[in-house]
Each structure stands twice: as structure tokens, then as C-alpha cells.
Structure 1
Amino acid sequence: MRDYTTKLTELQRSHQAAVAKANEYTNPDLSAEGIDKRRAELIAKAGEDHKAKLDHLAREFKDEATETKRVAAAAIPTPAGDTSQAWGRAKMLLEAGQTLQQIVAKADPALLHAVTEWGPTYLEAEAYKGRSDGFAPVAVDAAPLQRSIRQRWTQVLDGFAPGRIERGAEAEAVEAEFQVTAQHFAARLDGIHVGADDLTAAIEARLAGQRAGAGLAKEGDAA
């Protein structure tokens, strides 16, 4: 999947080169006004060409990322039955002071299914603790938990499943990074001022990819 971010970077560089070449255009048979007009036309043409290429690349990437994530999800087995008994084990560990991260890190398949089903509700319940207004909604991001669970599945499964799950996780992270960069580039091609230069956008894209690949924080990690 990383080759798509490489292709996107190459497309940005191609556009920069086309714009630079357009700005260098000159013609002794044209007036200064005529040269400026021709340069503007060349820049607009470069934008149109690269917008079409960006749209095509984005569609290709979306199709492949969607299929990769589907295959990854299918590699995880479905629970054999009710998960409440296994969640009871998890609750005892939580009450004894274990964290969800610690539980997931050594979970067997039954416990992984239980945490998948009940873990988000547990996180929501924990978020309500200590609040003066218990009716106010809380925002709980269960994605890091689900990513940690998927990572554990790669350790307890065999065959082709671990590789498929890992490729699905990579697709999610690359997708987050790709989208930030592609949106910034598309805005520039459309002549929209986005308030961020290319370097800032690149940093934001990298951070988005890191967030999309992060699991539960380990005890002692910085918040």
C-alpha cells in the first residue's frame, strides 16, 4: 500500500515541475501580456491534467484499500457463541488492576472476542466515572482498542491470517496519511487557499497515519 503514497508524492512533484516550466515560458513573438496569458493557460492545463491523474490514483487506492481491509476482517474468526462468560474473566482482571492493554496482550481467542464485544462499553463506562453530570454524552474512541485486538490476533492465529490482518492494518494507516495529502493537493489544484504549506501538510499526513495505526497505550506511555 505504501507505493500509493510514493505515487502521490511523485504526482505532486510532477505538478510542481509543470508549473515551474510554465512560468519559464517565453516567446519573442508575443507581448509581455501575451506571455503572461500563455503562462496562465499552461498552469491551468497542468492543474487539469494532474487533477485527473489524482482522481484516478485516489480511486485505485480506495478500491485496493477497501479490498485489503475486507480480506483482513474475514481472516478473524467469528465467536463460537456467547462471549459474556469470557468477559466475566476480563472483568475480574480489570477489577484486580489489570488494564485492557495488558489483558489484550495475553488474551486467548475467547477473551479477544469478549473484549471486542464488551470493551467499548467498558471504556464508555470508565469515561463516565467521576463526572458530575452523568447524562452528558462522552466521546470514546474505541479504535485503539480494536487495533490492539487485531494485533493480538496476528499472534494467536496461524496460516495466512496474520499476514492478511497486518496488511489490513497497514491499509488503514496508509489510507489516513494518503487522504490528508490528497485533500491538500486537490485543494491546491483547485486554487483553494488551505492555510498550510506542503511541509505542514506532510507532517499532518504522517501524524494522521501514526494515529490510525496506534493501539492502546501501554502503562507508563505519555498521554
Structure 2
Amino acid sequence: MNTPQLIAAIQQFGRDRDTARKWTDPNLTAQAIQARRAQLLDTAVHKLRQAADPETGISAAGQAHTAALAALRSTDAAKAVTRQHHWQRAQMLLDAGRSLDVLVANESDPEILAAIAEWGPTYLRTQQARPDGVHPTQIDEPDTSALTNSIIDRLADGDPVASNRVFRDAVAARTQNERSQMWASVIDGTAAGSHNPTALTALHQHDTVAYDAIADVVYDRQTATSQTPS
């Protein structure tokens, strides 16, 4: 669903929730009325949850990311040697106190970035602290996804040629996936009656108009006063 459709789904849930809470029938007992209200609310919750489909975004992002990683690899022997030289130069800068983040942010050469993508994760593993008495096999592997994503971002920012398309596609799919996950968290919290502060803060930063459009429903407010997540 696009943003207007997601907003509409949440607003409709707010109306359905109000209808469920106010539903009554003079011919029924109080217990029967409460049971019917609960049934109507369950129906509204189920309908709202159907609006969130994060799995599609995860699948598309995963496929695009895999394609980008494949594009970073090279089976060309000469290119592999060149990349190793690039990495040795990068390692000298790391030894001098630079960080991988700084190297990536200041680099635009695709081959140097590819070299960092190939050797950088191993470097991060070697820099991971090992507590005394802990065997190397017992240490969790460091998360290197942020490094890989930053390299893909830099390559996507390069000249708009066909060779960069796979990286631009990966960034676009990741962005869409993050959006899907954000909305899924907002919807899940709204349906459960316990809003997700992290997701709502992200939505407020990403799209203030959308946030304002659903805030009353999400926070289950009866008045239209503004509430900004802290």
C-alpha cells in the first residue's frame, strides 16, 4: 500500500473502533453487548493488520542487496590483485587512525570501495575485542551490514551509468523496506492499543503530514490536539 492508503486504513480503523465501542442493542443483555463490541473490535483489528505487508519489502530488499553484493565481487584475477593493493593502502590509513566509515564517506573510486567491501568485514572482525578467557569461537560475529550498506550507498551516488543501477536499485529497495517496516510497526502498535514510540518517531521525522493525519487514532485520542513523540 502507498502512504495515502495506509493513512486511510488507520483512519478507518479509528472509525471502526469508535463504532465497536458505541455499539448497543436494547434487546440484549450487557454481557451480550460487550461480546458483540469485542467481536466488532476484533474485526476492525484484523482488517487493519491486513494493510501491513512487510514481508514483500523484506523479500525485494534482500534480492536487490544480493544483486549488489554480486556486483561488488570480481572473478577477474588482475582486478583482484588491484583491489588487494587498494586495500593495503586503505589499511595504512586505518593503522594511522582513520575509521572505515571515514574512508567510505571520502571515497568515490568504485574499485577502492569494492576493495573495502571485500576486506572491510574481515578487518572489523580482527578489531573486535575478546574478553579474557573467552574462546574465539564463542564471540559473536560483528554486524558488518552497516559497512556494506554505506558502500552500496556511495556507489549508488556515483555517475548515473548502467553499472551503478544495481546499487541504486538496492538503495531504493532498502529504503522501501525500511518504510514498510516502519508502517508495519505503527499499524501493529495501533491495532494492539500500545503505540510503538520508535516507529512513530521515525514516521514523524520522515513524513510529518502522515503522522499528523493518524496521530489521533494511534494515540486513541478523543480530541485533535497535537502530540509529538519525544
> Which category describes the TM-score, using the shorter chain as reference length?
0.5 to 0.7
Equivalent-residue separation in structure 1 for 2:140 and 2:57 (angstroms):
34
Which residue identity is paired with 1:33? Q
Question: Do 1:87 and 1:118's aligned partners in 2 also have CA atoms closer than 8 Å?
Answer: yes
Deviation for aligned residue 1:170: 4.1
Which residue in 2 is equivalent to 1:26?
A: 24
Quick one: which amino acid aligns to residue 202 of structure 1? A
Of 138, 142, 145, which residue of structure 2 is paired with 1:143? 145
Q: Which amino acid aligns with 2:26?
A: P
Question: 2:199: which partner in 1?
Answer: 202
Unaligned runs of 5+ in 2: 207-230
Number of positions where the alignment pairs a residue of Structure 1 with one of Structure 2: 197
In 2, the alpha carbon distance for the partners of 1:120 and 1:199 equals: 33
Matched, 1:169 2:166: no
CA contact (8 A) 1:177 1:205 kept: no
The percent of aligned pairs where both chains have the same amino acid is: 24
1:38 matched to 2:36? The reply is: yes
Select 1:182's aligned residue among 157, 181, 184. Answer: 184
Match of 2:48 in 1: 50
* Letter aligned with residue 22 of structure 2: E
> Which residue pairs with 2:212 in the alignment?
none
Q: Secondary structure at the match of 2:160?
A: coil
1:120–1:142: 8 Å Cα contact kept in structure 2? yes
Q: Distance between the aligned counterparts of 2:140 and 2:59, measured in 1? A: 34
Superposition pairs of residues 89-168 of structure 1, within 5 angstroms: 89-104=89-104, 105-128=106-129, 132=132, 135-136=135-136, 137=139, 139-162=141-164, 165-168=167-170
Task: Report the alpha carbon displacement of residue 135 of structure 1 after superposing the two structures with TM.
Answer: 3.7
What is the distance in 1 between the residues matched to 2:126 and 2:37?
A: 61
Q: Secondary structure at the match of 2:118?
A: helix
Partners of 1:67 and 1:138 in 2: how far apart?
25
Query: CA, structure 1 residues 166+132, in 2 after alignment: closer, same or farther (shift >3 Å)?
Result: same
Q: Distance in 2 between matches of 1:138 and 1:64?
A: 27
5+ long unaligned stretches in structure 1: 210-223
User: Normalization by structure 1: what TM-score?
Assistant: 0.66
Kindly tell me: are residues 19 and 101 of structure 1, through their superposed partners in 2, closer, same or farther at Cα, counting changes over 3 Å? same
Q: How far does the alpha carbon of each residue in 1:67-108 deviate from its partner, in whole angstroms, 9 at most, with x for none?
A: 55456556x454343232221121222233433233222242
For the residue of structure 2 that corresponds to 1:128, the secondary structure is coil
Distance 2:69 2:101 in 1: 21
RMSD value, Cα: 3.7
